[in-house]
Chains A and B, each alone.
Chain A
Amino acid sequence: MELLLFYIFGGVAVLASLGLVTGKNPVHSALFMVVVFFVIAALFVLLGAEFLAAAQILVYAGAIMVLFLFVIMLLRLQPEELRNTSRHAFQKFFGIVLSLVLMAQIALIVRGGFFKGAKGNYTPEVVSGFGGNTEAVAAVLFTDYLFPFELTSLILLMAMVGAVVLTKKELK
């Protein structure tokens, strides 16, 4: 059952990614990307990472894709410009080459043995000891990574003030 779901979601992810890169209309590509984010979130659920799945949907499918769509719509690309893809030939070439390199790398990692690294600390047993994925993330976030967590709020405050200063129409 799990394997079947994995193949369904994985297949949808691959098809949607293909639609994303081959799509002519940027809005379609953006919507394909939303689909990719959703099925990846589903894959996270299959791996027992519910928190990550929720964060994936909220942050990527929610916030970041809305931003993308805003940018696309603000740019208001004309249909003629969209069809003129010949100048992207250079990019296309490198895109394909780099994708192949990435695929080779992933294949090497999957085969194992080439890149050696330490074993992670958070095995399924440790995570279930916390009571689940969400609980484990919370426990780590509020103990080991308490300071980075709090610091992020300061950074966001600063970024907010900065954004207002740079864009507000009239400053007093």
Chain B
Amino acid sequence: MELFFQLTLAGLAIGSIYACVALAVVMIYQATDHFNFAQGEMAMFSTFIAFTFLTFGAPVWLAAVGAIAISFVAGLIIERVVIKPVENAPILNQIIVFIGMLMILNNMAGWIWEFTIKPFPSLFPSDWGVQSELIGPHHMGVIGLTLIVLFAIFLFFRFTRVGLAMRAAAANPDSARLVGVSVSWMLALGWGLAAGVGAIGGILVAPIVYLDPNMMSGVLLYAFAGALLGGVSSPFGAVMGGMIVGVLENWIGHPALSELLGFKMNELKLTFALMVIVIVLLFKPAGLFGRVVVKRV
């Protein structure tokens, strides 16, 4: 039973990270109707930027904040420069642009920082918080920080003028323009925020999976699964979905289950994420918390 709680708490921590990336995915989806296949690589690159700050001797928190700020600006620029030209292009062209970005970021990271695995420190010191058998300090910190970040984002969208304008621009761009909102800047801002949130995800996951250019491909898949499970039309849903996927993923890794089935289930975790994606898309495309979007034909 204790193992079960351990797995659940660790799942919540991993799930928090998926939630960050899933939220980034959903923010971009809401703003520009794209699935950003390069979201994972963007987060990875951000984490490497933090890593570089560390090698210059910056304290870990400062490195993280610096990397997140740079990611924000970079996200903004990417939207303006790379994404804008295909805003109204066919879906295939948009997918290709994301794949191109993924290739660029992945290979540039390998080129600059090499493809070897590197350790990355936790933001949370090991004597941090409540010492518990059930959950380590990093995992505890991850859950706490994610909740704070997500709550801050919620407040921003709910109660600020710019947050309202961003929601308006995403939901009804023509109308938003007619009240004086600069829609294209709002979309860019959405990209910037998504890049920042994704960076947080990367920085939080790096101490667990180690830092390397391919570290995010699995995380992105779980984040997609979480985003779809919660509902791509709902940021809240994406967060919940990410958490649920994290917990389920860890339960699946429970030795008792593997014993019961006669093979190691944790070897199929990515397949599990794939199944979640396909099953949700087939049977509940709106996700658990999303709205059904009726498309006019």
Q: Do A and B bind each other?
A: no
- Please report A residues at the B interface, Cβ cutoff 8 Å: none
- Please report B residues at the A interface, Cβ cutoff 8 Å: none
